[in-house]
Chain A
Amino acid sequence: MIMRLRWLLLALATAAGAEERPAPVEPWQVRGELQIIRLDAQRAIPIIARFTDDAPGAAEELRHLLADGTATLVAHLIGRTTNGDACEAEQTRGMRYGTEFLPFDRGLIPEKQSGKIQESVHFPITAFERMDIGATLRFEPFVHKGGSIVSVLMDLNLRDDAKFQRLESGIQDNGTRLGVDLPTDFVRRNASTFVVHAGVPTLIGCCKPEGQRAILELQVLTIHVRLLDGPLPKAKKRLDPPNAFAPRVPDLGAPAFQTRIELHRFLMPEADALRLRPALLDLTKIDSAFANLLDSVKSGSCELAGILSIPLRDDRHGEFENGRGQRYMTEPSPGSRPQTIGDAPDIQEPKPRSPVSAGKEAAWSNPVQYFERRDVGDHFEAETKVHPQGELLELQLSYSIIGHRGFMRWPTGAYPPSRTAHSYGYQPDFTLRKSNITLSLANRQRTLLHFQKLPAPDGRVEIALIRTITERFNPDAKP
């Protein structure tokens, strides 16, 4: 009875909002192919620019570079789905790493070769976690009337092979520093809603992956659509949408505009940057200044710190990340002598160093037990609102650039007290630059976004230039 009452209430609620329900979804079959391609920055920069006005030509150029081995295909992900439904594809490797550690202990253990009993120190890992390395794509397409354009809600996650970083957790009597290994993972994320032309390769993202000096990564998506004749059986289940924060794509309606956002960040010596500054502030000279900056990158007098070229559907939200996960200790325990396990001899007061006494003095434990992870790198959020004529837009931009300069250390104790060896505590040294702004931009007009001096010891100046290119859609166009 309660179930039926619930049905009734649901029915009445649905009837009240019947006029707001979206139009029925046409049963287009959608195939999305995403290529993640890496190539030399000098070759990549003109191809990225070409994607803005001549996407098929740029894709063809990339295909040739892949065929002759100049570019590397990192992943090719295929997703198949029906109009309005989500799909996902992933190619990953699981990497395991320790997450919980015990303080040092000491005990006896037979040596591998001789079987002779030896004293030892242990810093057991008691729990592990898995991190997926590779590419995961989740997208939900919506094919607009006629099948020529497709709105796509996408969440792409890329993670490169992690490097293990050793955090000190103790010191042995013989001076050997002991530590636990924690992974630093390199991540990129692209979560946004955009529009593509069916069958046309579209550059949906590009970046300079963290840890790569002269390599750029391009994300190229091609969506193919087709209709099957006759009615189709209904699917039994649907995947959740790619992003919880966004409405399902069918609810969005036909798009009017889309904006490609291009962002370049350059690092150059202060004197050079100051010389260039007047041209960067002059809208009539900024394009030639931008060309000068690209030439300086070629000649090596300037570094390309970051690049972004992304399409974003008007009035929708996009998030982009490129960085790494930096782990660090959060609750250091005071250094202590290790506990004795079983019947290992008691810890002795420090004695003159000798091979015999080495084991008895064992180690000084500086336990590393609790960790946190912080995203280091670029985080960029954007939303656009194009004016009705398409020549002006408002760009809401929120970005942060977090740097990690290394670890600061300080002595936490002397071990043994009579000697000079110290144990140390370590804390990370992060730098942060953050901005929340709303810009009014003219279509295709390049603008100086920021001109900032980096903190010491780097001391260079970072110049960021932004440009937006707006495209108007005709949703009724034939494919």
Chain B
Amino acid sequence: MFPRLTAAALLILPAFSPAQSPDDAPERAWKIHVELQAITLPAKDALALLPGLSDEKSMPAAWTKLATMLSEEKAKISAVLLGETHGEKIEARQGEDVRYPSEFSSPSPIENPAVEKSAPKQNLGVAFSATAFEVRATGVMLTADADASTDGKRITITATPEHVWMLGWQDFEVGRLANNEKIIIKQPRFASAKTTGTFAVQSGERTLLSIHRVPEHENEMELFILRTWTTPRNAAKDIGKDAGKK
């Protein structure tokens, strides 16, 4: 009976206390830095490095090997994204937006404006106008929410790294000429590798978040390696920054 009452009392209290405003939130003493490296290397090398990269204890040695491969150009960096936060969401991206048509109208004739109005109409062809477009962000992107422990040694992070590739255009047949020549419209082909998770790391640790094949390059794989660390927040300077934002 008593535990029930205690639980009820604890939960009732906030209902009658004044609401907490965002300004009352505890001030964070640490800045959190994140660095996402997307690295491509031959699939055979990636699979050989995988056991070392997967485990936090063996990661430093595996990373040294990978760094050597990078310096010898056996591995390549596709992107490096850096972010810093003391509580806000981090969004970083390197790439471009691809805009493409997604809906089309019914076909309508294209008339020749050079022909006089009195003359019989002469159609130059048929148009399938695009009536709606979509936009897809391509490239490497990182979204993260992170918070540090009071001593700054541990970080809990929710991270979503993603790489979107545009692979090309796909033809769709929408008509035929009398000689059977095809009339086509094109639609884009994309590929994506993405992972989302909430986990905790020690400050300064590197973490392997994903290993995946590079689309249309079956012998190559890409690694997402996230490094997360904290630095003490310079109160005077950073509070000044916050004031500017407000």
By a beta-carbon cutoff of 8 Å, the part of chain A in contact with chain B is 4, 7-8, 10-12, 14-16, 18-19, 27, 29-31, 33, 66-67, 73, 75-82, 85, 87-96, 98, 102, 105, 107-112, 117-128, 134, 172, 174, 176, 178, 181, 224, 226, 228, 230-239, 341-344, 358-359
Chain A: minimal CB distance from B42 (Å): 13
> Which residues in window 103-126 of B have CB below 8 A to A?
103-109, 111, 120-126
Chain B: minimal CB distance from A239 (Å): 7
Contacts of B148 in A (CB 8 A): 233
If A16-B4, A94-B190 touch, does A121 touch B149 (CB 8 Å cutoff)? Answer: no
Whole-angstrom CA separation of A59 from B12 in the bound complex:
53
Contacts of A66 in B (CB 8 A): 47
Contacts of A125 in B (CB 8 A): 104, 172, 174, 185
Contact between chains at A89 and B194 (CB < 8 Å) = yes
Binds A, one of B66-74, B75-83, B204-212, B234-242: B204-212
Whole-angstrom CA separation of A358 from B109 in the bound complex:
21
Count chain B residues whose beta carbon lies closer than 8 angstroms to a beta carbon of A.
Answer: 81
- CB-based nearest B residue for A10: B11
Contact between chains at B207 and A109 (CB < 8 Å) = no
Contacts of B200 in A (CB 8 A): 27, 29, 82, 228, 232-233
Contact between chains at B124 and A108 (CB < 8 Å) = yes
Contact between chains at A107 and B125 (CB < 8 Å) = yes
22 contacts between A and B (CB under 8 A): A15-B5, A78-B195, A78-B210, A85-B198, A88-B195, A91-B192, A91-B193, A93-B190, A94-B190, A95-B170, A98-B172, A108-B125, A108-B126, A111-B177, A111-B179, A119-B178, A231-B149, A235-B156, A237-B158, A341-B109, A343-B122, A358-B178
Contact between chains at B126 and A341 (CB < 8 Å) = yes
Which of A75, A118, A119, A236: most chain B CB closer than 10 A?
Answer: A236
CB of B231 closer than 8 Å to a CB of A:
no
Contacts of A79 in B (CB 8 A): 195, 197
Contacts of B34 in A (CB 8 A): none
Contact between chains at B209 and A78 (CB < 8 Å) = yes
Contact between chains at B180 and A176 (CB < 8 Å) = yes
If A230-B153, A343-B121 touch, does A90 touch B195 (CB 8 Å cutoff)? Answer: yes
Known: A122-B128, A233-B147, A233-B154. 18 other contacts (CB 8 A): A4-B16, A19-B3, A19-B4, A79-B195, A82-B199, A87-B198, A87-B199, A93-B190, A95-B170, A102-B107, A105-B106, A107-B123, A117-B122, A119-B177, A134-B191, A230-B151, A234-B156, A344-B123
Top 4 A-B pairs ranked by shortest CB distance?
A342-B109, A11-B11, A87-B197, A15-B8
The residue that B125 contacts in the complex, of A12, A109, A176, A343, with Cβ under 8 A, is A109
Whole-angstrom CA separation of A122 from B175 in the bound complex:
4
Convert B159-178 into 0s and 1s, putting 1 for each residue whose CB lies closer than 8 angstroms to a CB of A: 00000000100101111111
Contacts of A344 in B (CB 8 A): 123
Contacts of A29 in B (CB 8 A): 199-201
Contacts of A112 in B (CB 8 A): 181
Whole-angstrom CA separation of A126 from B102 in the bound complex:
8
Contact between chains at B104 and A359 (CB < 8 Å) = no
Whole-angstrom CA separation of A347 from B111 in the bound complex:
20
If A87-B198, A92-B192, A96-B188 touch, does A124 touch B104 (CB 8 Å cutoff)? Answer: yes
Secondary structure of the B side of the interface?
strand
If A16-B4, A176-B176 touch, does A96 touch B189 (CB 8 Å cutoff)? Answer: yes
Contacts of A77 in B (CB 8 A): 195, 210
CB of B94 closer than 8 Å to a CB of A:
no
Whole-angstrom CA separation of A16 from B1 in the bound complex:
10
Contact between chains at A233 and B124 (CB < 8 Å) = no
The residue that B199 contacts in the complex, of A76, A81, A96, A117, with Cβ under 8 A, is A81
Contacts of A107 in B (CB 8 A): 107, 109, 123, 125-126
Whole-angstrom CA separation of A77 from B50 in the bound complex:
12
Whole-angstrom CA separation of A234 from B16 in the bound complex:
25
Contact between chains at B109 and A108 (CB < 8 Å) = yes
Which of B122, B176, B181: most chain A CB closer than 10 A?
Answer: B176
Whole-angstrom CA separation of A92 from B162 in the bound complex:
11
Contacts of B172 in A (CB 8 A): 98, 125, 181
Contacts of B209 in A (CB 8 A): 78, 80
Contacts of B196 in A (CB 8 A): 87-89, 239
Chain B: minimal CB distance from A238 (Å): 7
Chain A: minimal CB distance from B103 (Å): 5
If A124-B106, A124-B175 touch, does A76 touch B55 (CB 8 Å cutoff)? Answer: no
- CB-based nearest A residue for B191: A93
Contact between chains at B126 and A342 (CB < 8 Å) = yes
CB of B14 closer than 8 Å to a CB of A:
yes
Contacts of B135 in A (CB 8 A): none
If A92-B191, A124-B174, A343-B109 touch, does A80 touch B197 (CB 8 Å cutoff)? Answer: yes
Contact between chains at B195 and A89 (CB < 8 Å) = yes
CB of B15 closer than 8 Å to a CB of A:
yes
Contact between chains at A172 and B111 (CB < 8 Å) = no
Contact between chains at B158 and A235 (CB < 8 Å) = yes
